[in-house]
Structure 1
Amino acid sequence: MTAAPATTGTVARPARRGLPPVVLALAFVVPFVASVAGSSIIGDATFPSPFAADADIRRYFAGNHDAVVLQSLLQCVSSVALLLLAVRLAEAAGGAAARLITAAGGVAAAFHVLSAMVGWVAVRDAVQADGPLVRALHDLAFLTGGPAGVAALGVMIGATAAGLGAALPGWARAAGLVLLALALLSLLCLAAQPAAFLLPIARFGGMLWLIFATVRMTR
């Protein structure tokens, strides 16, 4: 009997029936981007940096109730889509990568939901009277939706890049690993403010990467 020829490399498994992965990727990206743009349009200022003055942060949450609620709602929708996307990517990857994609995607979605909910709490009338509490909630929203959420998203992207194997061109797999490194390096913003510039690069770069990867999977 002739043995079957061995295969080399990792090949993505066919995705199960359901929404195409690219639809889930867009359902993750579009509401998130809309939350940032929409809150900026209806608010009187952009969402404050965690490194801003206490007075500026309290002023923003006191005067932008609707903007924060809109942002929280859309980011919750985005997080649900991210969780579903992680499951679909894990199905396609298989093996150890699948477990890491599912875990990291679940953690990223949970952190982003927590960030959105904390923002919603920060604009409650009962909270507005306590300035230090508003500041603490803002910092928590940043930590969960920023460094923690972005780092987990980066791990999910890196695991996806490794798990999909030949389904992606080599440069795309390399880009996924670079985004993983940038997402992990963004944690340095907890110790050094200048490192915060890595957060939007890893977040929005990762979103573009996920759209590209899921388009390739769909094709």
Structure 2
Amino acid sequence: MSAITSPAPATAAAPASNRLALTGVGFAVLFIASLVFSGLAGSTTYPSPFEADKVAEAYFADNGGVVLGMGILQLLSAVPLAAFVLALTKGAARAGLVRAAGLCAAAGLAACALIGLAIPVLDASGDTLHTLHYLTFMAGGPAHVPFLGIVVGASALAFRTSAPRWTTVLGLTSAGLALLSLATFVSESLMLLLPLGRFTAILWILVTAVRAARLRK
């Protein structure tokens, strides 16, 4: 599973599998940790940019340190995500689309984290707060999830002959949900597609990382 096409020779398979395992698990753990930290340490749930302005203002005023911690964890998670994609496509033919989509997904996540970090650092309020809050959603949602879905869907198809059938179905389902989440640009009522696409993609990445770790043995 070291490439999008056929498996690499045995001498190269172990290091590649090691990178897939470490980076895949690293991304999932850091990203999920950011959400768990926010949920446990925050005074309330992280607000949607579509809620009333006073809700967001109250949250960010009371949870500056939480927002900083969540942003740092998400920024860190973008690094193993990029490394996972590079390991996934290393030495593969016709892997340009997957590699480009993966790097765009990592860039979107990093942008989301950096913009989010700017809110407590700048002590933003009013229109500035609303703009930054909305940009974090756009960067980490519609600008990140569809690209992540492309990585997962294309890779699931490439591995369909060597991976369990259910992982292929999971990957393609995740890709479909992630691409459909682009509809959130049109209607906020479809926002549920974003977490569905995101977390099924993370699950596929975890499964792939675990399978890569088993290949080392």
Same fold, judged at TM 0.5 (above) = yes
SS state of the match for residue 142, structure 2? Answer: helix
Distance in 2 between the 1:27 and 1:217 partners? 13
SS state of the match for residue 191, structure 2? Answer: helix
Distance in 1 between the 2:90 and 2:168 partners? 18
Distance in 2 between the 1:42 and 1:74 partners? 14
Match of 1:83 in 2: 82
Percent of aligned pairs with the same amino acid: 35
1:203 and 2:198 aligned: yes
Match of 1:4 in 2: none
Give unmatched runs, 5+ long, in structure 1. 1-9
Does the 8 A contact of 2:19 with 2:84 survive in 1?
no
Letter paired with 2:181: S
Match among 102, 106, 119 for residue 105 of structure 1: 102
Match of 1:6 in 2: none
Match of 2:181 in 1: 186
Moved over 4 A (4+): none
Distance in 1 between the 2:210 and 2:96 partners? 22
Letter paired with 1:116: A
Match of 1:37 in 2: 36
Match of 2:51 in 1: 52
Distance in 2 between the 1:20 and 1:144 partners? 27
Does the 8 A contact of 2:24 with 2:208 survive in 1?
no
1:120 and 2:117 aligned: yes
Letter paired with 1:106: L
Distance in 1 between the 2:83 and 2:162 partners? 20
Distance in 2 between the 1:168 and 1:100 partners? 21
Letter paired with 1:77: L
Distance in 2 between the 1:184 and 1:168 partners? 23
Match of 1:139 in 2: 134
Does the 8 A contact of 1:13 with 1:91 survive in 2?
no
Structure possessing the higher radius of gyration over alpha carbons: 1
Does the 8 A contact of 1:167 with 1:217 survive in 2?
no
Distance in 2 between the 1:105 and 1:40 partners? 27
Give unmatched runs, 5+ long, in structure 2. none
SS state of the match for residue 136, structure 1? Answer: helix
Letter paired with 1:104: A
Match of 1:163 in 2: 158
Residue deviations 1:58-93 (CA, integer Å, cap 9, x gap): 11112111110000110011110000000111127x
